[in-house]
Amino acid sequence: MYISKLALLAAQLSSVLAAPTRGSVVRPPFPSLSVAAGASETLPPTPAETGAPAPEEGGEGEAGENEIEQSAEFDVPIVVPGGSKVDTLYPPGQDGVFEVEIQGADDRTLTVTQNTSPAPPPAGFVTLEGSSFIVNLAEGTDGLALQKIDYILNANSTLDISAGTIGRLCTEIGAFVIDPAVGEIEFEAEENELTLTVQDVNAEWAVFIPDTTADGATGGGATGGGCAATDMKQELMDLLLRMLE
């Protein structure tokens, strides 16, 4: 019985290690998967500045609660009120606005920092704004009903972001990962907005669009499962070693 179990586990480990890495951005609706790596409310940027819709107050949010929009500054902690769906927008960049959406029962303290020297984009893509965004909820993300990372194109921008995507930095490999395992990516044409639904916003994020001038041979990012695949393989290896002790 012991030998049979060991043989079965070894076969499962071999199957996982031999699994191919996905090499393209898949955009159908996939379930989100985790891939581990006193401020006051103010008026949001105007639609003319960001291309975003006017703030909604008292309306129904995506999770069935009142929706709040607030503006924030990079590197400055801001309180995200509990009980409502809260959209926190940051100052417009050259082409668009970075936004964090969350909803939970309790107040959270949100800080977003720009990294002006991010890791390279995945092959075949370019990084918008030339920077990435490090999101930190001081109280963590447990218990949140909704977590999204958004990028809204400025109204005066001529970029086409309909084929764009949002990647998460995988610290284990030092590269941005764009994959359904990171989250569900959508493009909302009416608002010219990319939105990524995730299970943990606490990470470093960057927005990418296809590089129309490249041959796809450059870039240092990853399009495979990245962190998620690495974690699974390591867990199986640890289990096998414990059985051999």
* 90-102 confidence digits (pLDDT tens): 999 999 999 999 9
The whole-number pLDDT of residue 212 equals 87
By C-alpha distance, which of 111, 157, 158 is closest to 137?
111
Whether residue 96 sits in one domain with residue 73: yes
C-alpha to C-alpha distances, 2 to 51, 177, 245, nearest whole angstrom:
63, 39, 13
Whether residue 232 sits in one domain with residue 198: no
3-state secondary structure 51-80: CCCCCCCCCECCCCCEEEEEECCCCCCEEE
The whole-number pLDDT of residue 47 equals 43
Whether residue 235 sits in one domain with residue 145: no
Q: Which residues constitute the domain of residue 158?
A: 24-223
* 113-159 confidence digits (pLDDT tens): 999 999 999 999 999 999 999 999 999 999 999 999 999 999 999 99
Whether residue 236 sits in one domain with residue 145: no
* Total number of domains in the chain: 2
By C-alpha distance, which of 127, 197, 193, 132 is closest to 157?
193
Whether residue 79 sits in one domain with residue 44: yes
**Judging by beta carbons within 10 Å of its beta carbon (0-12, 13-18, 19+), is residue 190 exposed, middle or buried?**
exposed
Whether residue 201 sits in one domain with residue 231: no
Sign of CA dihedral 173, 178, 180, 186: positive
SS3 content of the chain, % helix, strand, coil (to 5): 15, 30, 50
Whether residue 11 sits in one domain with residue 67: no
The whole-number pLDDT of residue 224 equals 54
Whether residue 233 sits in one domain with residue 123: no
Query: How do the pLDDT tens digits run along the chain, 245 residues long?
Result: 544 544 544 444 444 444 444 333 334 333 333 333 333 344 445 444 555 444 444 433 344 448 999 999 999 999 999 999 999 999 999 999 999 999 999 999 999 999 999 999 999 999 999 999 999 999 999 999 999 999 999 999 999 999 999 999 999 999 999 999 999 999 999 999 999 999 999 999 999 999 988 664 444 555 555 565 544 444 445 445 555 55
Whether residue 242 sits in one domain with residue 230: yes
Whether residue 82 sits in one domain with residue 65: yes
CATH of the domain at 40: 2.60.220
Residues 11, 63: Cα–Cα separation, whole Å: 43
The whole-number pLDDT of residue 213 equals 84
Whether residue 39 sits in one domain with residue 149: yes
Whether residue 101 sits in one domain with residue 66: yes
Q: Buried (b) or exposed (e) across 138-152, using 16+ Cβ within 10 A?
A: eeebeebebbbbbbb
